[in-house]
Amino acid sequence: MPSHSAIALPLSALLCLIASLMLSGCAAPSSHWPATRDLPSQSGPPDPLVRFNGQRVASPEEWARDRRPELKKLFQHYMYGFLPPVPDRIQFVNQGIFTDLLGGKATMKLIDIQAGPEGAPKIQLMLIVPNQRRGPVPVFLAMNFCGNHALLSDPRVPLTTGWLYDSCKGCENGRATEAGRGSQAMDWPLSDIIDRGYALAAFCSTDIDSDRKDVSDGVYAWLSRYWKDPSIAAPANRGTIAAWAWGFHRCVDYLVRDPDIQRQQIAAVGHSRNGKTALLAAALDERIGLAIPHQAGCGGSAPSRGKIGESVERINTAFPHWFNARFKEFNTETDRLPFDQHALVALCAPRPVLFSNAAEDQWANPSGQFDMLKAADPVYKFLGASGLQSETPPPLGQLSPGRLGYYIREGKHSMTAGDWQVFLKFADAHFRSGQ
């Protein structure tokens, strides 16, 4: 265990101390960034190719060396909070390999990821790979709301053990029960995913952090107990979306080591708050090859300066734990943000990103999301990638071409088997034909 003297340090320094002891890398202390009130007002999306000091990025090398790391820090400092550290001790415990899934056409591997010393949150990863494969396959890495057991009715999948949303079928007193098994199978077309030659890796967000204003469990709470410093888990210093993104990264730690997975072809997927997380995870980790934030909206794919749907003030009020305390200072001053969500997409460049939406889901601001892709496009072009191929969104039900993909269908806020067909099409276009 660490020495107690670390507790006297400010949080940023403490996190870096943790970093130096536990991590392979850490964001630099961020105290040199201006206070929110001292940031200049910018009515539109700030140019991602202009550095914080006002200098224009001159080359792709400068983008990768200076501007990309700067943007990563800015997002964590002003909005999401810093991700928990990367553990230098990570264990992958095989809990079973079953070769007879889906009538024998797939193999299910159950892996417990223990990211950190004993007591750290354990992520239960479920990986399903096609049996008919000639080599490593691309994978959709998806974070779910209700547990892996909800995705298929196979009794060998363990029930998720953490806190659970009341809205999940079978949830009793905040915990999963057998009644939830397979309850979301309709929305996760496993058989199609496998037939198309993809693997699916799934994990439940609440293995990492429960989605509550009461932040007494999860990865930050564990860190805070481990370091005997309550401030680490204080709402001011943490963000649930950042914690979940850290969970994505730990699953990637496993996937890049699995010989059945094509390590350059990991697609991060999530719906709504899970989509916000998938985009952040991809933006902060270049090992993720493609991102699909589905109907992610405010705090994810929609502009913070947006006038349609959910506002920054509203999301910070309803879900204060999703972002850090500093983000609340922008509630009525989003014009002071030194970035907008297009810069999160730009961080993914030149990797493919798909924003998929539903026409009735105006809360997620679908048209504002298209504007974010437009504003990220110059970075794709700057890096020599195809980006957006049209100035206007495609008609309803049509996927746009290019590495910045957009799709909007009829209907409401949901993730359906039909949406997965679009995800597959987008992944085919980029993983298979290299558009």
Catalytic amino acids?
272, 413
Minimum CB–partner distance for residue 335 and ligand GCU (Å): 21
Minimum CB–partner distance for residue 140 and ligand GCU (Å): 19
Kindly determine how many residues on this chain lie close enough to bind ligand GCU according to the rule CB under 6 A: 8
Choose which of 315, 347, 353, 388 interacts with ligand GCU (CB under 6 A).
315
Binding flag, residue 310, ligand GCU (CB under 6 A): yes
Closer residue to ligand GCU, CB minimum distance, 323 or 426 = 323
Minimum CB–partner distance for residue 393 and ligand GCU (Å): 20
Q: Which residues of 352-371 are buried (b: 16+ CB within 10 A; e: fewer)?
A: bbbbbbbeebbbbbbebbbb
Residue-level length of the chain: 435
Closer residue to ligand GCU, CB minimum distance, 98 or 363 = 363
Cα(128)–Cα(160) distance, integer angstroms: 17
Closer residue to ligand GCU, CB minimum distance, 160 or 272 = 272
**278, 341 Cβ separation under 8 angstroms:** no
Choose which of 67, 149, 196, 273 interacts with ligand GCU (CB under 6 A).
273
Cα(373)–Cα(359) distance, integer angstroms: 17
Burial of 336: CB neighbours in 10 Å, binned 0-12, 13-18, 19+: middle
Cα(74)–Cα(81) distance, integer angstroms: 10
Amino acid at 215: V
Minimum CB–partner distance for residue 247 and ligand GCU (Å): 16
Tell me the sheet residues that pair with 203.
Answer: 143
Window of 107-115, 310-318, 329-337, 399-407 that interacts with ligand GCU by CB under 6 A:
310-318
Minimum CB–partner distance for residue 274 and ligand GCU (Å): 7
Beta strand spans in 325-376 (E): 353-358
Minimum CB–partner distance for residue 343 and ligand GCU (Å): 19
Locate 62 and state its tokens: 């400068």
Closer residue to ligand GCU, CB minimum distance, 213 or 228 = 213
Minimum CB–partner distance for residue 400 and ligand GCU (Å): 22
Choose which of 298, 343, 346, 415 interacts with ligand GCU (CB under 6 A).
298
Closer residue to ligand GCU, CB minimum distance, 111 or 298 = 298
Residues 331-370 that bind ligand GCU (CB under 6 A): 363
Closer residue to ligand GCU, CB minimum distance, 108 or 354 = 354
Cα(379)–Cα(387) distance, integer angstroms: 8
Amino acid at 83: L
Beta strand spans in 359-418 (E): 404-409
Q: 3-class SS at 124?
A: strand
The secondary element (H helix, E strand) that includes residue 270 is: strand 261-271
Cα(219)–Cα(204) distance, integer angstroms: 14
Binding flag, residue 272, ligand GCU (CB under 6 A): yes
Nearest to 402 by CA among 361, 371, 362, 373: 373
Cα(151)–Cα(202) distance, integer angstroms: 9
Closer residue to ligand GCU, CB minimum distance, 298 or 347 = 298
**254, 113 Cβ separation under 8 angstroms:** yes
Residues within the interface to ligand GCU (CB under 6 A): 272-273, 297-298, 310, 315, 318, 363
